Amino acid sequence: MKEVYLDNSATTQAYEEVAEIMKKILTEDYGNPSSMHRKGIDAEKYLREAREIIAANLKCDTGEILFTSGGTESDNMALIGTAMANHRSGKHIITTAIEHPAILETAEHLKSLGFEITYLPVDSFGVVDPEELRKAIREDTILVSVMHTNNEIGSLQPIEEIGKIIKEIRPSILFHVDAVQGYGKFRILPRKMGIDLMSVSAHKIHGPKGIGFLYINNKVKIHPIIFGGGQQKGLRSGTENVPAIAGMAKAVSMIYKDLDEHIDKMYELKEHFVKRLLEIDGVTINGHTGRDSAPHVISASFEGVRAEVLLHALEDKQIYVSSGSACASNKPAVSSTLKAIGVKNGLLDSTIRFSLSVFTEQEELDHTVDVLNELLPVLRRFTRH
């Protein structure tokens, strides 16, 4: 079998159509959308179309879409931009213990500027209890930020319920959702769900890298964090990355075209894969596995094997996976999510994340299980004592 790519939560292969439209724009319609001439107007047309596609998908206004360089910038903008614009109403922000570093590190930065941060705990499946949130909200709370889908174990948060609680207590509290892993897997309608801000990244849904967007409800008071030529109504200066934006819009329309079908297939694959993994000795699955988890993320701990070694052994067989979370794997520190859900100490360093995409086939997963069955006994023979 040729290569098996099971690291789709790190990044995905782009659709052919995405690459095509980007090439056309880079080589033919390469104008700057701010230019006065026709070349500029042609380029601007791509931006308008992209906004329309995304707005239709979210059932929101086109003016509520801010193009950014991806998930990390969207998260930074959501937290810092609203903190700067609303600090007179209060300096308290609530988030969770299992957020992506783009949120956790930004929150720490705000803490150093005098903001107070509350980190909500999660249960052993990596899910936040909405009642904990209710208790954490204070007079001076200005923002709540909760991720839609966890990147390491695929747990889903009760976003709609959280949105309801927030708006019940005080509609002026802003609700940000990091939907980098959830967008393209679920239909997320911000207005219906009480979401004021939402971060999305294109390269997780077969779009290009270096592009994403932040949904910002019209009523939200927010300040820019990047200054310059005043593009995007002054909220995000810098020439718009037209080819990447058009590529992202293409990916959005393609992934949502037959979404239900794709997702059903992914859940079936996941169920099958989990069942086969559990047939192997010494394997634990972290988090939920059914419809109450993400369709594409499977976190498995392999007793007696170091994740990094297993990862490289799989790599040798052209099977590509992550240890813990790819974004965090370049640091030796163990995953905060795995710790937060109470994974046993001995297994923290033995956890592999498999993540699927619309391109994943069952035979690839079966092949992976076969390879695991071949590798694990050898690797376990040579463990560090």
Partner 1 sequence: MFSSFLIKYGEIGVKGKNRYIFENALMNQIRYALKRCEGKFLVHKAEGRIYVDAESEFDFDEVVDALSKVFGITGICPVKFVDLCNPEELKKVILDYVDQVHQDKNKTFKMHVRRAHKSYPMDSMELNASLGEAVLEAFPSMKVDVHEPDILLTVEIREKIYIYSTVIPGPGGMPVGTNGKAMLLLSGGIDSPVAGYMIAKRGVKLDAVYFHAPPYTSERAKQKVVDLARIVSRYSGPIYLHVINFTDIQLAIYEKCPHDELTIIMRRYMMKIAESIALDTECLGLITGESIGQVASQTICSLACTNEVCTLPVFRPCIGMDKQEIINISEKIDTYETSILPFEDCCTIFVAKHPVTKPSLEVIKRHEKHLDDCIDELVKTALDTKETIIVSYDKRD
3-state secondary structure of 90: coil
Out of 312, 318, 361, 362, name the contact with partner 1 by CB under 8 A. Answer: 312
* Contacts of 114 by beta carbon, 8 Å cutoff, 6+ apart: 91
Amino acid of residue 384: R
Q: Is 382 exposed, middle or buried (0-12, 13-18, 19+ CB in 10 A)?
A: exposed
Could you tell me which of 100, 177, 101, 168 has the C-alpha nearest to residue 131?
168
Out of 331, 363, 370, 373, name the contact with partner 1 by CB under 8 A. Answer: 331
Nearer to partner 1, 259 or 309 (CB): 309
Nearer to partner 1, 87 or 306 (CB): 306
Q: Please report which residue ranges of the chain form alpha helices under DSSP H.
A: 16-27, 38-58, 71-76, 82-86, 101-112, 130-136, 159-169, 190-193, 242-257, 259-278, 307-316, 336-340, 345-348, 362-381
Residues 133, 120 contacting (CB under 8 angstroms): yes
Out of 316, 363, 370, 374, name the contact with partner 1 by CB under 8 A. Answer: 316
**Contacting range for partner 1; rule: CB under 8 A; set: 130-138, 236-244, 266-274, 302-310:** 302-310
List, in sequence order, every residue forming a beta bridge with 149; answer none if it has no partner.
156
Nearest approach, Cβ of 326 to partner 1 (angstroms)?
Answer: 13
List, in sequence order, every residue forming a beta bridge with 201; answer none if it has no partner.
212
Q: Which DSSP string corresponds to 109-165?
A: HHHHTT-EEEEE-B-TTS-B-HHHHHHH--TTEEEEEEESB-TTT-BB--HHHHHHH
Out of 84, 193, 259, 309, name the contact with partner 1 by CB under 8 A. Answer: 309
Nearer to partner 1, 60 or 313 (CB): 313
**Contacting range for partner 1; rule: CB under 8 A; set: 151-159, 283-291, 306-314, 347-355:** 306-314
Q: Which DSSP string corresponds to 224-265?
A: -SS-SS-TGGGTS-S---HHHHHHHHHHHHHHHHTHHHHHHH
> Is 311 an interacting residue with respect to partner 1 (CB under 8 A)?
yes
**Contacting range for partner 1; rule: CB under 8 A; set: 86-94, 101-109, 271-279, 314-322:** 314-322
**Contacting range for partner 1; rule: CB under 8 A; set: 41-49, 88-96, 256-264, 311-319:** 311-319
What are the two backbone dihedrals, phi and then psi, of residue 38, each rounded to the nearest 5 degrees? -60, -35
Instruction: Pick the catalytic residue from 142, 174, 327, 375.
Output: 327
Out of 313, 343, 371, 376, name the contact with partner 1 by CB under 8 A. Answer: 313
Nearer to partner 1, 124 or 383 (CB): 383
Nearest approach, Cβ of 316 to partner 1 (angstroms)?
Answer: 6
Amino acid of residue 291: R
Nearer to partner 1, 107 or 376 (CB): 376
> Is 381 an interacting residue with respect to partner 1 (CB under 8 A)?
yes
**Contacting range for partner 1; rule: CB under 8 A; set: 162-170, 194-202, 269-277, 303-311:** 303-311
Residue 60 known to be catalytic: no
Nearer to partner 1, 275 or 331 (CB): 331
> Is 382 an interacting residue with respect to partner 1 (CB under 8 A)?
yes
Total residues in contact with partner 1, by rule CB under 8 A: 15
Sign of CA dihedral 79, 334, 286, 185: positive
Out of 308, 320, 366, 380, name the contact with partner 1 by CB under 8 A. Answer: 308
> Is 3 an interacting residue with respect to partner 1 (CB under 8 A)?
no
Could you tell me which of 28, 29, 33, 25 has the C-alpha nearest to residue 229?
33
Instruction: Write out the residues near partner 1 by the rule CB under 8 A.
Output: 308-316, 331-332, 381-382, 384-385
Residues with active-site annotation = 327
